[in-house]
Structures are given as C-alpha cells and as structure tokens.
Chain A
C-alpha cells in the first residue's frame, strides 16, 4: 500500500465514531468531512439564490416593478406582494435550514445530495430545540460573513479589520476540533455525520459450485486473511476481466499453483468461497485472522 493511501486511510479512521443503540449494538458513524459540509452549504445557498431569482422573475413577469417600493403601497395587491417579499427574504435566511433539518432526514437538500445529516452527539434523540439552536448560530457563521465580504467591510479601517478577525474565528471554528463542530453544533449538542444508503448486493456463494474442479487444502487457504478476502470480494463484484486475471495470477503465485488462462472467474469464485468458509469456521471458534501478516 502506498504512503498516500495509508495517509488517506488514517485520516478516515480519525473520523470514525461509534453509536451504541439501546439494543446494545455498536453502530459505526463517520463524521462528515469539512469539505462535504462546505459543499452542502454552497449548494443550499445556490438553491436559495436560484429560488429567489425565480421569485423576482415571476414578479416581473406578472408586471410588478420592484424599483418603486412606494408604488407598492398604493394598491392592496402590491402591499401583499411587499409583505411576501420581505417574508420570503426572512424565511430564506432563517427558515430554510430549520425546516429541512427538522424533517425525518435531518438534512437540507444540499446535505442530502452529499449524503450527510445532522445528528445529536452522544446517541441522544435529536430535538427541535437543538435544531433551532444550531440554526440561530448560523447567522453569525454564514450570513454575516457573506454580507461582510459582499459589502466590502474592509473599508471601515480598523473596525473592519477587527470584525474580519472576529468573523474568521467563527468561520474557522470547525477546523479547531476533532468532530468538525461549528459554533452552532457546539451550542446545540449536534454534529454532522455521513448517512450513506447501501443497496443489498447479491450473495456471493450462489454462483455455480466448482468445488469439484478446484480443491483447496489447509495450506493454501491459510495464506490469506480477512482483508484479502474483502479485496477479492470487491474484485469479483466489480467483475473487471483484467484485474481478475491479475488477482488470479497473484494468488496462484502465492499458493504455488499453475493455472491455465480463461477460467479466472470460476477459479476466483471458488477460491473466495473456500477461503470464506475456512475463515468463517475459524471465527466460530473465536479465531480471527485479520490479514495475511497476522
């Protein structure tokens, strides 16, 4: 394994957490990476902007001129639209994130697209108050810095600089702790985790049985461990001819067999089944073999 892969794996392992369900089962959770959270936020802001532009285009299309807010006050319909406009601004700033995170998925559309969700730290139930608290803090963490940058807050001189440092503390907060908590997460007792959906793959040992063609003995099967078995499972599920050939050759070299070409899939499937049966029977006796080195 190369150094880069190693580093990536160590980095991912640092984000692993465990959740113990009331049934006493430990479920692995992985903290969402800061990159995916930033991307989710950008997506959400894009959705908000897009929705807002559509709203304005719609207003212009039905013949309302937003330039003259005074003109709006003349007619009752204009008044209604003025109210709607202000409320839409208000709810896109405070309501959008709140509404979606209170839903069953615990995620805004941007978060859902990136496969992450909000959860309570320490295996508690996620409550309404938590979601409210984390989204109230979002104001100083997201919207005020954005307005500051758009409004060119540096022009204010020393106060502008001080405000920049102050806002930077909030923006950079997720980089200063292990769980990538932003200030709102800290106050609310929540964190953002990965929420992948997995499809159930077909069972491996349903493939045609070749136990009569290939017989593997104790010596051949004790070469590899669980890690190699999982790599083999991945290769078989992807089903790329070239990589299967490479893997088959590597295994043959290792166990000292000499195999002709063209029968790699059958060979690998039966080796997989035999190896898994071998390792699983070891498991039943409490013996686990992590990889080929152990």
Chain B
C-alpha cells in the first residue's frame, strides 16, 4: 500500500510503542504480567482510536491483520487480571479498552451507502409487507376521515371553516365561484421558484409524517386522530370542488402528487400504528421486546416514507404546476400509484427473504 511507503518518511512515521521498563525490575508478579502485555494493549488502543475517528486508512496492514488477535489478547488479559491482579488502574484501563474495542469490532458492519442498497433492494418493501395489517387499519381510517369530512361539510357548510385553516382555504370555500376554483387548479405560467416550493413541501410533509409515526408510541391512538383530521380536510375540500362541478379536475390535480404523498402518509401512519399496536398487544414477548421489534421494522418503513415524500415534493412542485391537462395529470398519478404497488409487492431479495 502507498501508506506503507509514506511511513518511511519521518514526518508520517508513527511513534513506536516501546515497553515501558525492564520487566524484571517489577517486584510484583501481577505487574510483570501487565508489563509483558501492555505493548499489545497500546497497539490495540491505537487501532481502536483510528477506527473511532473514522480513519481506518491510517491503520497499517499488519495492525489490521492482528486486530482480532489483539482484541482477544486484551479480553483474556482482563479476565486473568481480574482474578490475579489488584492493580485497579490497569483493570480500569483494560475495561475501558475492551469496551471500546468491542463497540468497534461488534459494531455496525455496514456503511450508509451499503445500508441504502439493501434497503432499496428489498429491505424496505419487506418491512412494508410485514406491516400489511397496520396499513389496512391506517387506510380504513384515512378513508373514514375523508368520508367524515365530506359528510360534515355537506350537512352544514360551516364545518368547512373549522376543518380547513383559513390561510389554506385561500378562496376555496363552499359556494365559491367555480371560476375561482378552476383557476386554483391551473398550472402556473413558468417554473421559476418552483424548486424552492418543492423543497418546502418536502420538508413540511416529512415533518407531518414523522409526527404521525412518533405519536404512535401512545398505543397508536394519536396517530389515528392525526390521520382522520388530515383526511377530513381533504374530504371537505373534495366536497367543495364536486359541488362546483369540478370533481374530476380536482381528483386529477390531486392525484399527480397525492398518490405518492398520501401513500407516504399512509405508510408513516401504519408504522406508528404498528408500534402502538405491538405495545398494546405484545403477545408472548415483553412490552419492551415487542416495542423494539416493531420500532426497528417501522423505522425502515419511515425511512422509505421520507424517500416517497421527496418524490412527492418534486411531483407537486414541478409536474403538477407544469402539466395542466386533467387526463395527463390523472395518468401520471396512476402510473406512480401502480409503480409503488408493484415495488412493494414485487421487490424481493433472493437468498435473504424472511428473517
């Protein structure tokens, strides 16, 4: 390796670890034991420090090959020292050293990119398939929320104002002029500033999705409430547009990003419900073990929901504002929906299917 040649230059040479003194000079048997081994301990410490700093390139080939041996030597030294030595400082040093080495040797084995590869290539879709029941529950409540929003506004239009925040309505209220409503669905003339808008949408929606997941901790109930209230807003809006005879256009407008975005919110909500449900009904396991098993699975689903929201933000910010034709919009939305369904159902990794 090039690095080994570098070491021959004095500037790059690392200080040699030398034995601290004549081993025979020590009057205690346990100190002789320690002095015989401390060079190895210090070598291990230097490797571990380099690993902790994230600079494995600094470790020489010899050191790397010896790492497992050095680690086992240190653990065995610690085991022996505990039974034969009363040198508190040396035992404390060994305990700290072995603990640090343990975290490096038995620590995470993947890099972030490696994790992304397994994640996109099967880990995510498997995690999604594993929580199918929670997805059904979340879907049911999302549909129920939409229906509730629709029914409330159709009975009593005043409900609209309590469901939809004033700033968001922006003239889109019950009994509004259909022309105003139609204009709100129109694409904007140019693409300037849309990227800022898309980024903003992504960051905002991801916040909502993470909230939906995190609230699942309280047995999933707050997540359900969040899903219902968000979808009631959609139902109310839907009613306003259908009443004005713009139902098809509105659904098309929504579907461009909505199939992806609502899908992400569905997954986030389902992940929250999964955690809450596992804690409420842990089955044979302890509550802690159930929460952990569910949490780790749900975290993968959530990481995926973030990816979906990036896509949704791009679709919402660019495509929806640039494509105006309702059928084209509907086609884009449908393709996205089909893509996600196929991905979750079909992406399987050979060799490591069920855990």
Contacts and interface: CB of A to CB of B under 8 A. Distances in A.
Given A102-B112, A279-B86, A201 B203 contact: no
A204 B297 CA distance: 52
B89 A201 contact: yes
B28 A137 contact: no
Interface in B30-87: 30-31, 34-35, 38, 41-42, 45, 51-54, 72, 75-76, 78-79, 83-87
A102 B113 CA distance: 12
B288 A129 contact: no
Contacts of A65: none
B93 A198 contact: yes
A74 B108 contact: no
B88 interface: yes
A197 B96 contact: yes
Contacts of A19: 99, 102
Interface stretch (A6-14, A46-54, A185-193): A185-193
A221 B222 CA distance: 67
A211 B72 CA distance: 36
A166 B104 CA distance: 38
B299 interface: yes
Interface string A187-211: 1110000011111111111100101
B19 to A, nearest CB: 11
A119 B38 CA distance: 27
Given A73-B196, A104-B107, A233 B88 contact: yes
A87 B28 contact: no
Nearest to B26: A205
Given A139-B211, A186-B291, A198 B104 contact: no
A247 interface: no
A223 interface: no
A200 B199 contact: no
B20 interface: yes
Counting contact residues on chain A (CB < 8 A from B), the size range is 35 or more
Contacts of A233: 87-89
Given A83-B195, A196-B96, A136 B302 contact: yes
B302 A200 contact: no
Interface in B1-47: 20-21, 25-31, 34-35, 38, 41-42, 45
Contact of B83 (A229, A234, A277, A283): A283
Contacts of A103: 54
Given A117-B103, A128-B115, A133-B299, A200 B108 contact: no
26 contacts: A23-B72, A23-B75, A25-B79, A28-B95, A82-B193, A86-B196, A86-B203, A102-B108, A102-B112, A104-B52, A132-B299, A136-B299, A140-B215, A141-B214, A166-B222, A186-B291, A187-B291, A197-B96, A198-B89, A202-B20, A203-B21, A203-B26, A233-B89, A276-B87, A280-B86, A283-B86
Interface in A77-122: 79, 82-83, 86-87, 89-90, 93-94, 102-106, 117, 119, 121
B200 A86 contact: yes
A132 B100 contact: no
B213 A79 contact: no
A144 interface: yes
A220 interface: no
B354 to A, nearest CB: 17
B14 to A, nearest CB: 17
Interface string A26-38: 0111000000000
Interface of B: 20-21, 25-31, 34-35, 38, 41-42, 45, 51-54, 72, 75-76, 78-79, 83-90, 92-93, 95-100, 102-104, 106-110, 112, 115, 192-193, 195-196, 199-200, 202-203, 206-207, 210-211, 213-215, 217-218, 222, 275, 288, 291-292, 294-300, 302-303
A88 to B, nearest CB: 10
Contact of A89 (B54, B203, B303): B203
A27 to B, nearest CB: 5
A294 interface: no
A237 interface: yes
Contacts of A277: 27-29
A186 B289 CA distance: 9
Contact of A273 (B28, B110, B213, B295): B28
Given A94-B206, A200-B90, A229-B86, A205 B295 contact: no
Given A188-B296, A205-B28, A104 B214 contact: no
A137 B20 contact: no
B315 to A, nearest CB: 16
Contacts of B53: 104
Given A104-B54, A128-B108, A229-B86, A27 B102 contact: yes
Contact of B99 (A27, A104, A141, A237): A27
A187 B84 CA distance: 42
By Cβ-Cβ distance, the 10 closest A-B pairs, closest first, are A73-B193, A189-B292, A187-B295, A133-B299, A82-B196, A198-B96, A205-B28, A201-B89, A132-B299, A140-B214
Contacts of B291: 186-187, 189
A229 B89 CA distance: 12
